């Protein structure tokens, strides 16, 4: 019999740790290859880890609510199968990347596994990990703030205080991370918000006209978010300095346009799935990917990498009846657009024969941006640019 040490695998760019939520097998249980062993939670996504071998779960090395680093062993299985040494923290040659002997020596000395090493962003030639990169990672890792433990199954308790009934609700892990992220964003970015009103009458009438036929033919619900994303992408192409991030005193201009969609979950928490390379989709493609991401977000089926790498975020606050707001920037991005509720309004309509009064569908766009790197001209012009694309939407668009 062999002992197989199961590591916490790499789960995507910038994900260095995960919390053990619950074990799906007991010590002593026989497990088949691909059987689910444990449920874990990264920053905002829950997922399961399966067994890569047939065997017996000998020992769990982490208890529920404990945090494991990528590459840490989380369980030991007894198996009759032979397996590769790459599962152990000894740094051998990687199938994906080249690591210099110096980097591998440092990794071995610091107990960094191959899995963990492959999560480090390299700044060297061809994105190789340099000595500077690994020492920076080690420094960040050693100073990492660990989220306090909590009992997710006993998070609500009632007490009687000063003869008044009160309920104490302990924040779950996602709420704690969101709270920390929001505070961090306000401390980092100098938030400014610009507001613009847009006439979306053509879009509303277009959707009402074709939505039933579209759903019958494609099986997809025709939501307006696809149009909003398309118009935001066009505005980013016109004003690319919105699509940036900040590193110290350096501005990092992004070549790719990855649009995050702030999505409210049934439990009240928030998650931001990301449309990667949103500019590569036509309207039908955007409809399909948006519906898929939101559906899987609400059923906790997203993969960790599907919430990573966004360069600009959209929040639909109109879905819960709000007109406008002051959204908080999703770090490390520098701007976020909140889309308000569509309302019918009496409006002055300019025509060649003079001004008329009519009923139009109007919407407010709230654009929050980081005043450290985006001035009011750019931030305000971007919001107006999105509004103009919405108003110019081709109501004869066929999908």
Catalytic residue set:
371, 375
CB proximity list for 32: less than 8 A, separation 6 or greater: 51, 54
CB proximity list for 235: less than 8 A, separation 6 or greater: 242, 382, 385, 386, 389
Q: Write the CA distances from 361 to 84, 199, 207, 383, integer angstroms.
A: 62, 6, 13, 18
SS3 368: strand
> Which of 7, 19, 6 has its CA nearest to residue 56?
6
Torsion of CA 201, 203, 204, 210, to 10 degrees: 140
> What φ, ψ does residue 395 adopt, rounded to 5°?
-70, -5
Residue whose token pair is 């009160």: 166
Distance CA(264)–CA(393), nearest Å, equals 27
Question: Concatenated DSSP letters for 16-77?
Answer: -EEEEEEESS-TT-EE-TT-EEEEEE-SS-EEEEE-SSSEEEEEESS-TT-EEETT-EEEEE
Torsion of CA 257, 224, 374, 180, to 10 degrees: -90
Distance CA(268)–CA(324), nearest Å, equals 20
Distance CA(53)–CA(50), nearest Å, equals 9
**Residue 197 β-bridge partners:** 364
């Amino acid at each position: 019999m062999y002992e197989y040490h199961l590591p916490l695998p790499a789960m995507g760019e910038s994900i260095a740790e995960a919390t053990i939520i619950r074990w799906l097998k007991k010590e002593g249980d026989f497990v088949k290859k691909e059987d689910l062993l444990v449920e874990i939670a990264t920053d905002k996504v829950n997922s399961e880890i399966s067994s890569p071998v047939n065997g017996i779960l000998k020992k769990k090395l982490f208890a529920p609510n404990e945090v494991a680093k990528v590459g840490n062993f989380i369980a030991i299985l007894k198996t009759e199968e032979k397996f590769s040494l790459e599962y152990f923290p000894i740094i051998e040659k990687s199938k994906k990347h080249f690591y210099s002997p110096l980097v591998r020596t440092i990794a071995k000395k610091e107990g960094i596994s191959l899995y963990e090493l492959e999560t480090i962003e390299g700044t060297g030639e061809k994105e190789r990990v340099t000595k500077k990169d690994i020492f920076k990672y080690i420094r960040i890792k050693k100073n990492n703030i660990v989220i306090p433990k909590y009992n997710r199954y006993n998070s609500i308790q009632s007490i009687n205080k000063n003869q008044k009934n009160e309920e104490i609700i302990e924040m779950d892990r996602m709420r704690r991370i969101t709270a920390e992220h929001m505070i961090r964003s306000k401390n980092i970015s100098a938030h400014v918000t610009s507001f613009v009103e847009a006439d979306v009458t053509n879009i509303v009438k277009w959707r009402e006209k074709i939505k039933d036929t579209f759903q019958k033919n494609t099986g997809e619900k025709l939501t307006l978010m696809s149009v909003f994303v398309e118009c935001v992408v066009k505005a980013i192409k016109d004003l690319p300095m919105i699509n940036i991030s900040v590193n110290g005193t350096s501005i990092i201009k992004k070549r790719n346009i990855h649009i995050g969609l702030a999505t409210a979950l049934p439990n009240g928490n928030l998650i931001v799935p990301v449309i990667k390379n949103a500019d590569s989709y036509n309207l039908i493609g955007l409809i399909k990917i948006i519906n898929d991401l939101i559906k899987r977000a609400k059923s906790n089926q997203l993969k960790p990498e599907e919430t990573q790498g966004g360069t600009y975020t959209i929040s639909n606050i109109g879905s819960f009846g709000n007109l406008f707001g002051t959204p908080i920037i999703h770090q490390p991005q520098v701007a976020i657009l909140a889309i308000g509720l569509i309302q019918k309004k009496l409006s002055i309509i300019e025509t060649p024969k003079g001004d008329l009064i009519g009923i139009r569908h109007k919407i407010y766009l709230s654009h929050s941006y980081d005043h450290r790197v985006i001035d009011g001209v750019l931030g305000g012009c971007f919001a107006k640019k999105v509004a103009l694309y919405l108003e110019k939407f081709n109501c004869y668009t066929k999908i």
